[in-house]
């Protein structure tokens, strides 16, 4: 089945440790995204990537890093520099349709990160 | 600066009645608008979209209306069902763009 997967679903880390969240898609989508959701807030864009080996900062990139070595994979590292890392993290992918509306995003199930 | 605003954090509706979720935007360059539905501890799923050249798009029980002059769109769910209880996000993007701007979401409660 085509889809987007994130692992693990729940993650606990000690303060000061870096942690990497996995995101894989087999939808052959060019674009991938990382969002963060906090209680009572919408989705805030952390990083996005249009193509392999290229990515751009979103609205809240500080304290995060990403890589895009393969089209299918877009891992997110939450570094110790991120002041409030406890949140629900969502990965998404989409085609890039420059002429039309087919840019709806497909989301993974999310990873809830808790920093103790 | 919120480009996409959902001013109602929650909405409660009786089963069988109409649910109306509202969304306002500030950027007149947006060309496409989307609604996503999200259950707790899951990723959002795409629900319905509308191009800026249209004023209405319908898909089963879901209809999205767009008023460009007012920079306002709304999602109508008729009839509402308990399974519709979720958070609904309004989103927007420009032509050729793929970076989607999301609103803060509205939590819909449909009471049986």
Element (H, E) at B56: strand B56-59
Residue A101 has pLDDT above 80, yes or no: no
Distance (Å) from the C-alpha of residue A65 to the closest C-alpha of chain B? 18
pLDDT given for residue A16 in this prediction: 87
Output the DSSP codes for A41-69: --EEEEEEEEETTEEEE-SS-TTEEE--S
pLDDT given for residue A2 in this prediction: 67
Residues of A near B (CB-CB distance < 8 A)? 4, 6, 31, 35, 40-43, 45, 48, 50, 58, 88, 90, 92, 94, 96-99, 101, 103-110, 112
Residue A60 has pLDDT above 80, yes or no: yes
Taking the C-alpha atoms of residue A37 and residue A109, their distance in angstroms, rounded to an integer, is: 12
In this complex, the residue of A96, A103, A107 whose CB is nearest that of residue B44 is: A107
Residue B88: closest C-alpha in chain A: A42
Segments in chain B below pLDDT 70: 1, 95-98
Taking the C-alpha atoms of residue A42 and residue A55, their distance in angstroms, rounded to an integer, is: 22
Residue B70 in 3-state DSSP? coil
In this complex, the residue of B31, B34, B89 whose CB is nearest that of residue A42 is: B89
pLDDT given for residue A99 in this prediction: 64
């Amino acid at each position: 089945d085509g889809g987007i997967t994130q692992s693990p679903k729940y993650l606990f880390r000690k303060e000061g440790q870096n942690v990497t969240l996995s995101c894989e898609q087999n939808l052959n989508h060019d674009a991938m995204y990382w969002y963060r959701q906090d209680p009572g807030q919408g989705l805030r864009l952390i990083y996005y990537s249009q193509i392999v080996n290229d990515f751009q900062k979103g609205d809240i990139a500080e304290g995060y890093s990403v890589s895009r070595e393969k089209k299918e994979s877009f891992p997110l590292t939450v570094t110790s520099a991120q002041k409030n890392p406890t949140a629900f993290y969502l990965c998404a992918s989409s085609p890039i349709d420059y002429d039309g509306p087919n840019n709806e995003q497909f989301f993974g199930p999310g990873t809830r990160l808790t920093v103790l | 600066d919120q480009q996409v605003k959902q001013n109602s954090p929650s909405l409660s509706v009786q089963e069988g009645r109409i649910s109306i979720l509202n969304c306002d935007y500030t950027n007149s360059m947006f060309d496409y608008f989307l609604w996503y539905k999200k259950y707790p501890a899951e990723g959002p799923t795409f629900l319905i979209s509308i191009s800026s050249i249209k004023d209405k798009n319908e898909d089963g029980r879901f209809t999205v209306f767009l008023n460009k002059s007012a920079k306002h769109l709304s999602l109508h769910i008729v009839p509402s069902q308990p399974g519709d209880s979720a958070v609904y996000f309004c989103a927007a993007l420009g032509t050729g763009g793929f970076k989607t701007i999301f609103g803060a979401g509205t939590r819909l409660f449909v009471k049986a």
